[in-house]
Amino acid sequence: MNHAVRETQQMDIRIDSDVVRVRQVVRECAQRVKLSLVDQTKLVTAASELARNTLLHGGGGHATIELVHDGRRSGVKATFRDEGPGIPDIALALVDGWTSGSGLGLGLSGSRRLVDEFDLASQPGKGTNVTVVKWAR
C-alpha cells in the first residue's frame, strides 16, 4: 500500500476518550477527501473498532491518519499499531463472532468489510499493526 501521502496526523491511544478523538479526526479527513456519507460512516466505524482493539487487546498504542492519493483518487489511510501481546492465530481472529474476550467478535472481520484495503500484521509477543484505506469514489 504505497500511496502518495498528503498529510499525516499521529495520535496516542491510551484511554477511552482517545478512541473518540481518533474517530473525530478520521471523520474530518473523510469529509475532506469527500467520501460519501455512507463511506464516511463505514470508515469511522472501522477506525473505531481498530482503535478500541489497540486499546483493549493491545494495551494501548498509536494511530496514524493520512490523506493519501494514488494518482486517480483520494482516500484516507489509517494505521493502528501497538506493542501488545499480538494475535497468535490471525485467521481465527478474523472469523466473524470469534472473540477472546466478551465482545461480539465482529470488530476485525467487520472492519475488513467496511474498507477498501485491509492489512493486518501481528506477531505474538511483539505487537499488532492494522492498516486500512478507504477511497473516494
Q: Facing residues of 105 across strands? A: none
Footprint on residues 54-83 left by ligand ATP (CB under 6 A):
54, 57-58, 82
Contact 80, 130 (CB under 8 A): yes
SS3 content of the chain, % helix, strand, coil (to 5): 35, 30, 30
Contact pattern from residue 105 through residue 134 relative to ligand ATP, giving x for each residue in contact according to CB under 6 A and a dash for the rest: xxxxx------------------x------
Using the Cα atoms of residue 42, residue 48, residue 53 and residue 58 in order, give the sign of their dihedral: positive
Is residue 69 near other proteins by the rule CB under 8 A?
no
Which residues sit at the interface with other proteins, rule CB under 8 A?
Answer: 16-17, 19-20, 23-24, 27, 37-38, 40-42, 44-45, 48-49, 52, 96-97, 103-104, 106-107, 109-111, 113-114
